Every structure is written in structure tokens, then in C-alpha cells.
Amino acid sequence: MRLFIGIELPENIIAELHSLQNLLRKKVRRGRFPSKDNLHLTLQFLGETSERKVEDIIRSLQTVSKLNFPFKLSFNTHLGSFGHKNPVRIVWVGVKGKVAALLQLQTSIVGSMQELGFPAESRDYHPHITLARDVDFIDKDFLLDQERGEFDMGQLSCFKIDNFCLISSNVEQGKRIYNIVETFKLIETDAECKDY
């Protein structure tokens, strides 16, 4: 099984991100845009995994979920990219809000997976949602202008993170399909916390 751990996004947030993808489509000659069903926030990629290990992974992630609390995030109002040449390898939108809580959750997950033999990535974790890949912009300065605030994406909503998922990734009839294997609810505090 090809597995990763990630955060599934609320439907209204997916709709906003899909609208953002449609804005991007008007600015490019070509690019590959993930299906809106596949938009998610990755926490750790596990890769090809023996089915025998899945129960251990689930038990370990259940422990992690009991040590982390819900929190709120929203998206930055500018785009970022990996690979600045045209075509751009990946165009993404980053997160803001309670990022420290997100990083704590991700660090807990990576630590628990290391105990099961899954190595941590050598590069720092950079939370983002991939909007497009291999993007050939009509205006090669578009991203630079956008990062300077010259392209208004509008305000994206704030949303609450109260769970994360173990997700399988398969190719079916030439399309990448994600399926949730297990969902892990973050522990709620007794007192209602408006900020998370």
C-alpha cells in the first residue's frame, strides 16, 4: 500500500481552493491541476508500506492524537512555488494561524513513525497545499508580481483542524485516487477555547 498521513479539508475550503485553481488556469498556457478531491495538507509521506504494518501505524497515530489539541488555520493570501523556472515545478498556497500547533502535530507524527522504521525527511517541513504542477505561465513574472501583492487572491476562510488521517494513494484508470484508511480525532479540552 502507498500511504501518507494528512489533513482532509472542509468542503467550503476545498471549494475556495478550487476557485483559486480556476484563477490560476487563466494565467497559464498549461499545467497539471490536482483534482479538488485530492486537495489536502500532507503531514508525512510513508510510501509503499506492507499491509502487516498498518495496524502498528494506526495504534501509534491513535497515541499521537491523544497528545495534540485542535487548532485553527487559514491560508496565506499569496502563492509560493518550488522551482522558479518556467515551467514552475509546483505552485502552492501556504498556511497561517496556529502554525506552531500544526508543526507540533507534524513533529509528533514523524517521531512516532520513526519508531516504526519510517525515516524523517531530510528537509524542513513546509506546510502547503499544492495547487498545480509543471506550470507554464503566460507572464513569466506572474509569481513574482503575485508575491509582491500585485495579484489579489481574495480572503480565504479560517478553518478548524480537529483530526488527521492515514490515507492510501492508488492509481485507478490513470487517475490518482486517495482513500481514507483511518481518521484520528485530536483531543478536545474540557474548557471551550475560542482560539485553539
User: What pLDDT, on the 0 to 100 scale, is given for residue 146?
Assistant: 62
Q: CATH number of the domain at 74, please.
A: 3.90.1140.10
pLDDT for 123 beyond 70: yes
Rg of the chain on CA atoms, in Å: 18
Show the cell assigned to 18. 478550487
| Cβ-based neighbour number of residue 80 at 10 Å | 16
Which contiguous run of DSSP H or E holds residue 169? strand 163-172
Q: Is position 148 within any domain?
A: yes
Is 55 part of any domain? Answer: yes
Mean of pLDDT over the chain: 87
In this prediction, residues 84-113 reach a mean pLDDT of 91
Q: Give the domain range for residue 131.
A: 2-185
Q: How many CB atoms lie within 10 A of CB 82?
A: 13
Residue 195 lies inside a defined structural domain of this protein: no
The total of structural domains in the chain comes to 1
Whether 194 is covered by a domain: the verdict is no
pTM: 0.87
Residue 30 in any domain: the answer is yes
192, part of any domain = no
Q: Is residue 11 part of a domain?
A: yes
Residue 193 lies in a domain: no
DSSP per-residue letters across 72-115: EEEEEEEEEEES-SSSEEEEEEEEEESHHHHHHHHHHHHHHHHT
Taking alpha carbons only, the member of 178, 154, 160 closest to residue 168 is 178
Pairing state between β 159-161 and 40-48: unpaired
Q: What is the pLDDT of residues 153-193, one digit of tens each?
A: 556 788 999 999 999 998 887 788 899 999 999 987 644 44
